[in-house]
Every structure is written in C-alpha cells, then in structure tokens.
Amino acid sequence: MFNLILFGPPGSGKGTQSEKLIAKYGLKHLSTGDLLRSEIAQQTALGLEAKKIMDKGHLVPDEVVIGMISSALDANPDAKGFLFDGFPRTAAQAEALDKLLDLKKTSINVMLALEVSEEELVKRLLKRGETSSRSDDTNEAVIRQRIAVYHSKTAAVADYYKGFDKAVYLKGEGTVEEIFGRICGEVDSRL
Ligand code: AP5
Ligand code: MG
C-alpha cells in the first residue's frame, strides 16, 4: 500500500492536486472537509453541528473526524492506498491515524506539505467564494481565522512527521501542472 498525506493551509491546493493524484496513482481520496460537507448536504445531526463550527473557521472535534476516517478505512479494504487531504489537522489526529493504520498493518509513506503565502491563500479562497457554495469562503475574516487555526493547531502536525523523517515541503505556488509535477516527483521516488 502507498499512503500519502497532502498537507497545507486552507487554499494551498490540496483538493485540486488530490483529484489529479488519485487519477494517476489509483489511491482512495479521503478528505475530511468533503466528508463533513457531505454530512451537511444530507442534513444529518453531525452535519448540522459541524456546519456551525466550520462557518466560524474553527476545527470540528478530533473524535468526530477520527471516527469518520476510521469508518472510511474499514469501508475500503481493497484500496491500493489512501490519500489523506485535510487530515490529520492536530497532533491527536496524527497519533490516532498511526494507530488506525497500524491495525491494518500499514503506515504513512510520506507527508507532502504545500507552501503558499498568506496573501495568495486569501486571494484564491475569496475568488472561489464568488462562485462556490462553500459558506466558509465568502468572508475574509473567516478565511483568515481558518489560516490562524492552521498556524496555531495544524502546522505542528508537520513536526510530528518530521520526527519520523516523513515530511517534505514543496512550493505550492505556480501553475497547477507545475505543482503536480513536483508532487509526482516525490511520489515516484518513493514507489
Ligand atoms: P477543508 O475542506 O479541509 O478546507 P481547507 O483546509 O480550509 O482547505 P480548502 O479545501 O479550502 O483548500 P485546499 O487546500 O483543498 O485548496 P483547493 O485545491 O480547494 O476544511 C474545511 C473545514 O472543515 C475546516 O475549517 C474545519 O472546520 C473542518 N475540518 C476539515 N477537516 C478537519 C479535521 N481533520 N479536523 C477538524 N476539522 C476539520 O484550492 C483552493 C482554490 O485555489 C480553488 O479555487 C482552486 O481552484 C485554486 N487553486 C488551486 N491551485 C491553484 C494554483 N496553483 N494557482 C491558482 N489557484 C489555485
Ligand atoms: Mg480542500
């Protein structure tokens, strides 16, 4: 199995690059943001609770997203590998993921972190907010709050993987194709 974490702040291109990576490498895409938005669309109790938190730019509780990832891993026993997008986002989530993968006799191969300046992130997300249905993209204050949460809670997740020599930083600015090329170079050297 090949298990990859695509890491980076809101708007760094995780979702955009994930689409291309799953097509090329046949990995199963697990995005906690997408899973939460699907709960919101279905108006489940979990989705309604999560929406209130997401609209403020805060993180949904660890146990909620860990439970979602655990179910998704169980639901895909034949996957060639997983691409984690937007997860893990806290040190507790990273530790829980290692335990879940250990139970399945597998582990994370590499964490690729996309680096993008804050002004570029805000620009990209405000632009998407003009047309998307994501309510957390329409307001600059919420976008900046999401970036602040990334620095205060999520950036430390990279240190966790650095400790295992599994963290690689890549320039996340340039064209989508240029960035995809950088990511594929790192993946191919580890396959
Ligand atoms: P989530 O859905 O994960 O969103 P996010 O991390 O805030 O990031 P985005 O999805 O907005 O950005 P992205 O990096 O995927 O970039 P994209 O490719 O879309 O999380 C949303 C919320 O859910 C969180 O705030 C939290 O509340 C909750 N949540 C989710 N996971 C959680 C967890 N594990 N724990 C707790 N809570 C959790 O690109 C962005 C835009 O830029 C697009 O319009 C795209 O077209 C454009 N773009 C992409 N690449 C380029 C490029 N190279 N040049 C120019 N534009 C580009
Ligand atoms: Mg995304």
Three-state SS for the chain is: CCCEEEECCCCCCHHHHHHHHHHHHCCEEEEHHHHHHHHHHCCCHHHHHHHHHHCCCCCCCHHHHHHHHHHHHHHCCCCCCEEEECCCCCHHHHHHHHHHHHHCCCCCCEEEEEECCHHHHHHHHHHHHHHCCCHHHCCHHHHHHHHHHHHHHHHHHHHHHHCCCCEEEEECCCCHHHHHHHHHHHHHCCC
Say whether 124 is catalytic. no
What topology is assigned to 2-188 in CATH?
Answer: Rossmann fold (3.40.50)
- Kindly report, residue by residue over 2-38, the tens digit of the pLDDT: 999 999 999 999 999 999 999 999 999 999 999 999 9
pLDDT above 90 for 39: yes
User: Is the pTM value of this prediction over 0.85?
Assistant: yes
Say whether 182 is catalytic. no
With cut-offs at 50, 70 and 90, classify the pLDDT of residue 179.
Answer: very high
What is the distance in A from the centroid of ligand 1 to the CA of 176?
A: 15
pLDDT above 90 for 133: no
